[in-house]
Chains A and B, each alone.
Chain A
Amino acid sequence: MRKEWIARVIVIFLLAAAIGIPAVGWWKRSQGIVIHARMAETGGWTPENLTVAVGQPLHLRLTSDDVTHSFAIGQSDQPAVEVKPGEMTEVTLTLDHPGKYTFYCTRWCSVNHWRMRGIIEVTGQQTTPEAVEPPLYILLGLDIDGDHDAEVVPAQMPSALRGAQFQNMVAAVYRSREYYQTHSPVELWQALRSEPASQPLADQDVWDLVAWIWQSNITPQELSVGQQLYTANCSACHGETGSGNGVFADLLAQPDTENHSVRQTGQMTIRPADFTDPVHILSASPAHLQGKLLRGGMGTGMPYWGPIFTEDQTWALIAYLWSFQFEMEKLP
C-alpha cells in the first residue's frame, strides 16, 4: 500500500505542477499591461484605451495574436517598435503633456490596417494651456470634398531644372511659402501666364517655371522624409509609383464589400487617387491636399492621418506627392 501512495503523490505532484506553473504565470502576467494586437477586422488593439497620469512612466508589453504589427505614438518622435506574433515587446513611455494620444500600427496588416488605433489618455493639470491653431485648410475654409479637374495640363512632365533658367521672370509674390501652400499649380500657371513678364515664354516653359517654384519651396530633406512616409503609409493603396494601383486598390474598388465602410458617392471613384494624373492633381493646392490627408474620407477608404502625422511630416508628405508631377532634381 505504501508503493500505491508514493505513486499517487507523484502523479498529484506532477499534475499540480503542470497546472500550477501555467496558472501562476497567467496570474503574474495579468499584473502590468499587456496589449494584444490583432487585425482590425478581428479586434485591433486590446485594450484600446489606456489612462496614465502625466509624467508617470507607462510600461507596456506588446504581443501580436496573428501577424506582424508595429506600435507607435501619433505625432511624436518615439520610434515605432515591432509587435511580432507570439513574442513580447516591452516599451516604456513617459508622456509629459496631458491630453489624448493616439497609438497606432505602422505595418500594413490588412486593408483596414489604419483602423488599428487606440487612445492613451494622459491625465493631469494643464500648466499652460497651449493655443492650438487649426490646420491651414480649415483657416482657408476649403471644401476638400469638392474636387475639380485641371483646366490646363502640361504637354510633358514639367522640369524644375529647365524652369530654373526663367527664374528671374517671377515676381517675389509667387515665390513665398504662403503662396505655395494656398495655391494649386494650375492657379500659379494661370497667374504666371497672365503676367506680362512671362509673355515670351511657351506654355511648357511656364509649366517648367511652376515646377521650379514648387521645388524651391521644398527641401531635399522634406522629400526624403516624405518618401519614407509615403512608402510606409500610402503606397499600399496609392501604389509605389503613385498611380493609384497599390496592392489594396482592387479591394477598395469593389463596391459593397465589407472592406470599405463608406458609401459610394455620386460618380466619385472608390479607387485610391492617382497622383500621376495631372488632371486630377494639378488643380489641388498643398492646403487642399493637407485637408484630404488630415481628415480622410471623401467617400473613399482614405484614412484620417490627423492624429498621426506632425505638421512637418504632413508638409513633407505633400512635398513628396509633387514629385509624381514634377521633375524636381536640382542642378548638380
Chain B
Amino acid sequence: MKMIRWLQRAVQFSLPSLAVLALVVIFIPSPAAAAIPTDRTFHIEARRFEYAPATLTINPGDRVTLELTATDVVHGLSIDGYNLEVTADPGQTARLTFVASRQGSFRFRCTVTCGNMHPFMIGKLEVGRNTLLWKGITLLGLALAAGMWRLRK
C-alpha cells in the first residue's frame, strides 16, 4: 500500500521527474569498449550520389584506412565529428587513415560538389555500439510508459 501511495505521489510530479529521468538517460556514461583495437582497411567506391559500401562498422580505437575510389566524377569524403577530408579523382585512389576515437554513429559526406544531390551524398560510420540510439529507444519506452499510465486513469 505504501508503495502504491508513493507511486501515486511520484506520478503527480511526473513531468519534472520524467525530465530528470530523461536527462539521466541521455548523459549517463556508456560502458567503455571491450574490443581490442585493430587496423582495418575499407575500400569505398564513390559514385553519384552514393558510397559503396555506405555503412562501415568498426570498434572504438580501431585504426581505419579508407581507400576512396571515385568512379564517375571527383568526389570527396569527410566524417561528421572528425576533422578529416579526402578527395579522389576517378582513377586515382585516395587514402585516409585515422583512429576512430569516438563511439557512436557518424555520417560521412561528400565534400566536392558532384551534382544536384551532392549535399545529400551520405554514408554511415558506426563505431562500436550506437549508444545514442539505445538511449533514444529507452527514452521512447519511458514516454510510452508515461502515456500508458495516463491512459489507465
User: Which A residues have a C-beta under 8 Å from some C-beta of B?
Assistant: 39, 66-68, 84-86, 107-111, 113, 231-232, 234-237, 239-240, 246-248
Complex CA distance for A237 and B92, rounded to whole angstroms: 11
Q: Which of A66, A108, A110, A239 contacts B89, CB < 8 Å?
A: A108
Q: Which of A67, A109, A113, A240 contacts B92, CB < 8 Å?
A: A240
B58-86: CB near A (< 8 Å → 1, else 0) gives 00000000000111111000000000000
- Given contact pairs A107-B74, A109-B73, A247-B69, A67 touches B91 in the complex (Cβ within 8 A): no
Determine if A247 and B91 form an interchain contact, defined as CB atoms under 8 angstroms apart: yes
Determine if B90 and A67 form an interchain contact, defined as CB atoms under 8 angstroms apart: no
User: Which B residues have a C-beta under 8 Å from some C-beta of A?
Assistant: 45, 69-74, 89-93, 112-115
Closest residue of A by beta carbon distance from B72: A110
Looking at the assembled complex, report how far the CB atom of A276 sits from the nearest CB atom of chain B, in whole angstroms: 16
Determine if B73 and A68 form an interchain contact, defined as CB atoms under 8 angstroms apart: yes
Determine if A246 and B91 form an interchain contact, defined as CB atoms under 8 angstroms apart: yes
Determine if B70 and A247 form an interchain contact, defined as CB atoms under 8 angstroms apart: yes
Complex CA distance for A248 and B71, rounded to whole angstroms: 7
Q: List 11 A-B contacts (CB under 8 A).
A: A68-B73, A68-B113, A86-B113, A109-B73, A110-B72, A113-B90, A231-B91, A236-B91, A239-B91, A247-B45, A247-B91
Q: Which residues of B contact A68 (CB under 8 A)?
A: 73-74, 112-114
Q: Which of B74, B92, B115 contacts A235, CB < 8 Å?
A: B92
Complex CA distance for A105 and B74, rounded to whole angstroms: 13
How many A-B residue contacts, CB cutoff 8 Å? 58
Determine if A107 and B89 form an interchain contact, defined as CB atoms under 8 angstroms apart: yes
Complex CA distance for A247 and B68, rounded to whole angstroms: 12
Determine if B113 and A236 form an interchain contact, defined as CB atoms under 8 angstroms apart: no
Q: Which residues of B contact A110 (CB under 8 A)?
A: 72-73
Determine if A67 and B89 form an interchain contact, defined as CB atoms under 8 angstroms apart: no
Complex CA distance for A68 and B93, rounded to whole angstroms: 17
Of B70, B71, B89, B91, most buried by chain A (CB within 10 Å of CB) is: B91
Q: Which residues of B contact A85 (CB under 8 A)?
A: 113
Q: Which residues of B contact A113 (CB under 8 A)?
A: 90
- Given contact pairs A67-B73, A68-B74, A247-B70, A108 touches B90 in the complex (Cβ within 8 A): yes
Q: Which residues of B contact A67 (CB under 8 A)?
A: 73-74, 112-115
Contacts A68-B73, A247-B72 given; 4 further ones with Cβ under 8 A?
Answer: A67-B73, A107-B74, A107-B89, A108-B91
- Given contact pairs A235-B92, A240-B91, A108 touches B73 in the complex (Cβ within 8 A): yes
Q: Which residues of B contact A109 (CB under 8 A)?
A: 73-74
Looking at the assembled complex, report how far the CB atom of A80 sits from the nearest CB atom of chain B, in whole angstroms: 12
Q: Which residues of B contact A246 (CB under 8 A)?
A: 90-91
Complex CA distance for A246 and B114, rounded to whole angstroms: 20
Q: Which residues of B contact A248 (CB under 8 A)?
A: 71, 90-91
Q: Which residues of B contact A239 (CB under 8 A)?
A: 91
Question: 10 tightest CB-CB pairs across the interface, nearest first?
Answer: A236-B91, A235-B91, A108-B90, A85-B113, A247-B71, A67-B73, A68-B74, A236-B90, A109-B73, A247-B90
Q: Which residues of B contact A108 (CB under 8 A)?
A: 70, 73-74, 89-91
Closest residue of A by beta carbon distance from B74: A68
Closest residue of B by beta carbon distance from A84: B113
Closest residue of B by beta carbon distance from A87: B113
Closest residue of A by beta carbon distance from B93: A240
Looking at the assembled complex, report how far the CB atom of A177 sits from the nearest CB atom of chain B, in whole angstroms: 31
Q: Which residues of A contact B93 (CB under 8 A)?
A: 240
Closest residue of B by beta carbon distance from A248: B90
Q: Which residues of B contact A235 (CB under 8 A)?
A: 91-92
Closest residue of A by beta carbon distance from B46: A247
Of B69, B74, B114, most buried by chain A (CB within 10 Å of CB) is: B74
Q: Which residues of B contact A39 (CB under 8 A)?
A: 73
Complex CA distance for A248 and B70, rounded to whole angstroms: 10
Complex CA distance for A231 and B45, rounded to whole angstroms: 18
Q: Which residues of A contact B114 (CB under 8 A)?
A: 67-68
